[in-house]
A = this chain, B = another copy of it.
């Protein structure tokens, strides 16, 4: 522990520690200027100048409201919201970039902005007509919104304790006929904050984290709303009470409505990424500063030198880079679709990609933050050092906006549909029969031959990931075919008995996509130095993904015992080497010093001067092993 509180946070960095380097620009992508602007704006705001965890529920909610109001008023954000309404090109990408930056400043602010702009705003933009955006609240004819039983109560509604309007998905009934879920704007409170008659709001109170988000339950007792409040892009009711929809099938209509959740999920991926980058910044800086153990009679070594430390942290840093490029790729597809006014429901592969990325990124974020917490020991357990708060706040990401296990099933339904399409002109049933009967795998043999060199190559890694995905896909199709078509098992039961297989296929798919996108980003990187650095982390990411699943590769004889052991050595060696480049990557994350807050990351913090560790430097004045002394006074 060092108490030299430097005035200048880091002499190598610019204002608030934001630097303009080629790597930082490449990691931030097209909208790097927007991100830096927003970083500066939040970094210099008093509202974000402290990490607050010591407030009552009400105070926390009030502070969060203030923060959201501040952010919404920023010219950068205002302009973005306008562009979003005008559906300008790139507005999705900008919005996602904003989400990531806000999440590093405060996850609650990021999530609340998500609720306001994506969930509520997104429903209107995607499900409503252009007029809805301005005038959906002028009454004409009516709908009655009603919660028939407790099972139908909607829980976890963000902004429930303060919001004026709610976007409610309700089963539409016209003349007694069920027409499937549709989205309605329901006034919940008047401008003075009084709850409207027929609406009951239940406060869900304290959660593990995100306590600035006021979650609640809404119950509707025959609440009348004007007819215009039905978001009618995919289903409307005429003046004389006739239901009309461009989509005949009720199931297909429901899928269209669900597709409206895609932007929210993708926003979540960026928020998780923001949390990860911040956690890694804190844990790795500390690991490069704190010293413990070492050769006898010599200075103790930096804890990043401990093999277990770099083996735990470096794969997460590599994954955060993979997610940087993969989430941007998904964002670009969404941006293009929305800009072109395409029906999101038709882009099923985008939905699958986003669902899978949501699951992978939020789980990876939690695993990363847990390792960051443990790798910073007792210091990482202090609220002042940020990591516990990040963990608690982002813990809910794995189950909200679609539980991750459900998300993985969304991915696999699409993969199986693709599989069926791929063989639709071929005798698919015969193919499946052949597959179940076959003991040899024709895919495997074609790529079994490799030398030591190829294990370390990106193309080997990518081929291996591709192979696993295809085999898991084919074998799942075969299992389901056998259960449902041959053994006549009930479909839900058959699917359920393959759930483990389903989740592994979905993750295999996403793993492959992340490596592919990371690889592309390496290829396209214009600065040789940055490219070399990214390539190392890309190799590390791929090696780690393969290492995690080496049992499967051994079972399928894709790896031999010897190559499997090679993969482990390669992983260790890459992590060992990557730890030296880690600080360069962190610098390129460009998180402002006043956003990091954590004293163990070298940010002077008057609330915990005792926890201050200076910024990592290449040479560090000798820190002798020290203990309390007890001298006998005789």
Interface residues of A (CB under 8 A from B): 1-3, 53-54, 56-57, 141-156, 168-175, 181-182, 184, 202, 204-209, 217, 220, 224, 230, 237, 240-241, 243, 293-296, 301, 305-308, 311, 366, 370, 373-374, 377-378, 380-384, 388, 391-392, 395-396, 398-400, 403-405, 490-493, 496-500, 503, 550-551, 554-557, 561, 564-565, 572, 607-608, 610, 623-634
Contact indicator A629/B146 (Cβ below 8 Å): yes
- How far apart sit A293 and B301, CA to CA, in the bound complex (Å)? 54
Contact indicator A153/B610 (Cβ below 8 Å): yes
Q: How far, in Å, is A615 (CB) from chain B's closest CB?
A: 17
Contact indicator B628/A154 (Cβ below 8 Å): yes
Contact indicator B383/A205 (Cβ below 8 Å): yes
Contact A207 to B554, CB < 8 A, known contacts A220-B628, A308-B499: no
Contact A632 to B175, CB < 8 A, known contacts A54-B206, A564-B555: yes
Contact indicator A144/B206 (Cβ below 8 Å): no
Contact indicator B205/A608 (Cβ below 8 Å): yes
For the complex of A and B, list the 8 residue pairs with the smallest distance between their C-beta atoms, beginning with the closest. A208-B388, A170-B630, A551-B551, A554-B554, A307-B499, A151-B626, A206-B383, A152-B626
Q: How far, in Å, is A176 (CB) from chain B's closest CB?
A: 8
Contact A628 to B396, CB < 8 A, known contacts A208-B388, A308-B499: no
- How far apart sit A619 and B384, CA to CA, in the bound complex (Å)? 49
Residue of B at shortest CB range from A217? B610
- How far apart sit A366 and B370, CA to CA, in the bound complex (Å)? 10
Contact indicator A499/B306 (Cβ below 8 Å): yes
Q: How far, in Å, is A596 (CB) from chain B's closest CB?
A: 18
A-B contact pairs, 29 of them (CB 8 A): A1-B150, A143-B633, A146-B628, A146-B630, A148-B629, A151-B624, A152-B626, A155-B378, A170-B628, A170-B630, A171-B630, A204-B610, A208-B388, A224-B633, A230-B630, A241-B632, A295-B490, A311-B500, A366-B370, A373-B395, A377-B403, A378-B399, A378-B400, A380-B399, A381-B396, A388-B395, A392-B392, A554-B564, A555-B564
Contact indicator A147/B628 (Cβ below 8 Å): yes
Q: Which residues of B contact A295 (CB under 8 A)?
A: 490-493
Contact A169 to B561, CB < 8 A, known contacts A308-B499, A551-B550: no
Contact indicator B500/A627 (Cβ below 8 Å): no
Q: How far, in Å, is A169 (CB) from chain B's closest CB?
A: 7
Contact indicator A399/B382 (Cβ below 8 Å): no
Contact A565 to B561, CB < 8 A, known contacts A153-B610, A628-B168, A630-B146: no
